[in-house]
Amino acid sequence: MIREDEGLQPFTKRVIAIIQAIPEGRVMTYGQIAEAAGSPRGARQVVRILHAMSKEHGLPWHRVVNIRGEIALQEEEARWSQQAALESEGVVVDERGRLDLDRYRHVPGPART
């Protein structure tokens, strides 16, 4: 959970909350998260937030993929780790590291105010 006193930017707080809310067995894309957080062109910011804050905030980083439904990590061990984590949740990932976004994409409901 995000504490109010953490001094994070509003976009960063929204991104963290969105990623924390991705249910097991579902995925979202970097761009989809950015758009839901209020910055449709902020996919690269989402990448940086994931990289810098996943461990600290316990983010399910493995549930975030690229726009083509692919594992975007280049390092082989990290790719394998993400694929194994997704498969342990029932997500089918093919030999190229691609999954069916139509089947596994999480679409959050409207934000509550």
Supply 85's token pair.
């984590």
pLDDT at 8: 85
| Domains recognised in the chain with CATH numbers | 4-96 (1.10.10.10)
Question: Rounded to two decimals, what is the model's pTM?
Answer: 0.88
For 106, 109, 111, 113, the CA distances from 21, given in Å and listed in that order, are 10, 11, 12, 16
Query: Residue 68 contacts by C-beta under 8 Å, 6 or more apart in sequence?
Result: 98
How far is 58 from 12, CA to CA, in rounded Å? 14
- Whether residue 113 has pLDDT greater than 50: no
**pLDDT tens-digit profile of 36-55?**
999 999 999 999 999 999 99
